[in-house]
Homo-oligomer: A and B are copies of this chain.
Amino acid sequence: MHCLNVELGERSYPIIIGSKLLGDSQYLLPYIRGQQICIVTNETVAPLYLQQLLKGLSSFDKVDVVELPDGESFKTLDTLNRIFDTLLEQRHNRTTTLIALGGGVVGDMCGFAAACYQRGVDFIQVPTTLLAQVDSSVGGKTGVNHPLGKNMIGAFYQPRLVLADMDTLTTLPDREFSAGIAEVIKYGLICDEPFFSWIEKNIDALLSRNPQALAYAVDRCCRDKAEVVASDEREAGGRAILNFGHTFGHAIEAVQGYGRWLHGEAVAAGMMMALELSRLQGDVDDDLLVRVRSLLTKAQLPQQSPADMTVDHFLQAMRVDKKVVDGKLRLVLLRALGDAKVVDDTPREKVIEALKNCGAK
């Protein structure tokens, strides 16, 4: 079992990573203050892991469950309201604890519900996908989508605990697993060159879901993320590097319709676009792109724009991205492998060239 801490003053919290954590009450109990619990999960995860989680919570008076439909297309204010309905119908009070059991969508919605219910109650992340374990469950970004933009409605709200059980990855569909690998590669690229080299050496072990390799990678990604988040909780500056590949990726998700491309898939293609742009700006050389492409190919991740997207689609969608400040498009590019920078004066024609080189029409 690995344990690390996200250092955010009075909002600090631990991340516990290991096997056989789910049914073991000792990990959860110290972080539950009251007598009420509401588990938020979805129709796919519930049949697999809900009973195990409930076993560890048998000592509580009241454990309710909200089972949401599965998928990014349900990450809406309407679905969020179903959580509030249950909390109010079941008379949950300010001392209740919400537990997110599922992937990024469940975690983001459960966290946002916790941020808003009675102006804020406790919540715990129990991420069951690789993407959620290495990225979305850590750092306190919560929210829902709007038809006009991803994650446009939300809050910075930190969990009391993240409990990442490696065993839940055994049932993860290959496509979802690969989507998580995209974010793992991201950490190497933006801030951790030694980890990037480790991934290159261990990509086969990761893809065959070797538990030790996975636990190492999750731990390393969480440490990298915790450090970035601790230095800039509300994304005033440095935290933005975590969005490497995401501005392009969000455009793909928005134009394709949420859910058609998985988030990690869109990020994979988006990272190639950001790398291509970094190359055009003279910051990284072709060799790095070859190395990243090789990893993405092994993980069966996309490296190009969807065939039906034009440059205009991208530019239009990116205009509403949260990274736009006073009309300037803010992009995360690489200075070098393991060294990302935030840039808001990239020439428009270079962005267009990079998009075209990556298959946008």
Binding site for B on A (CB under 8 A): 34-35, 77, 81, 84-85, 88-89, 91, 93-95, 115-120, 141, 143, 146, 148-149, 151-156, 234-235, 319-320, 322, 324-326
**Are A91 and B319 touching (Cβ within 8 A)?**
yes
**Are B141 and A325 touching (Cβ within 8 A)?**
no
Contact of A154 among B88, B116, B141, B154 (CB under 8 A): B116
Inter-chain contacts of A319 with B (CB < 8 A)? 91
**Are B325 and A120 touching (Cβ within 8 A)?**
no
Contact of A152 among B88, B152, B153 (CB under 8 A): B88
Distance A155 CA – B154 CA, assembled complex (angstroms) = 11
> A4 to chain B: closest CB distance in Å?
24
Inter-chain contacts of A156 with B (CB < 8 A)? 119-120
Inter-chain contacts of A119 with B (CB < 8 A)? 141, 143, 151, 154-156, 234-235, 322
Distance A77 CA – B35 CA, assembled complex (angstroms) = 28
Distance A146 CA – B84 CA, assembled complex (angstroms) = 8
Inter-chain contacts of A152 with B (CB < 8 A)? 84, 88, 117-118
**Are A89 and B148 touching (Cβ within 8 A)?**
yes
Distance A207 CA – B234 CA, assembled complex (angstroms) = 46
- Tell me the nearest residue of chain B to A141, going by C-beta: B119
> A139 to chain B: closest CB distance in Å?
12
> A309 to chain B: closest CB distance in Å?
20
Contact of A320 among B91, B116, B155, B320 (CB under 8 A): B91
Contact of A322 among B118, B151, B153 (CB under 8 A): B118
Apart from the given pairs A93-B324, A119-B155, 9 other A-B contacts in the complex at a CB distance below 8 Å: A77-B81, A88-B148, A91-B324, A95-B326, A116-B116, A116-B143, A118-B152, A119-B141, A119-B154
**Are B146 and A115 touching (Cβ within 8 A)?**
no
**Are A35 and B326 touching (Cβ within 8 A)?**
yes
Contact of A146 among B88, B91, B141, B148 (CB under 8 A): B88
Q: List 19 A-B contacts (CB under 8 A).
A: A77-B77, A77-B81, A84-B146, A84-B153, A85-B146, A88-B146, A88-B148, A88-B149, A88-B152, A91-B320, A93-B326, A94-B325, A95-B326, A116-B154, A116-B155, A117-B152, A119-B234, A119-B322, A120-B234
> A76 to chain B: closest CB distance in Å?
10
Distance A235 CA – B155 CA, assembled complex (angstroms) = 19
Distance A84 CA – B78 CA, assembled complex (angstroms) = 14
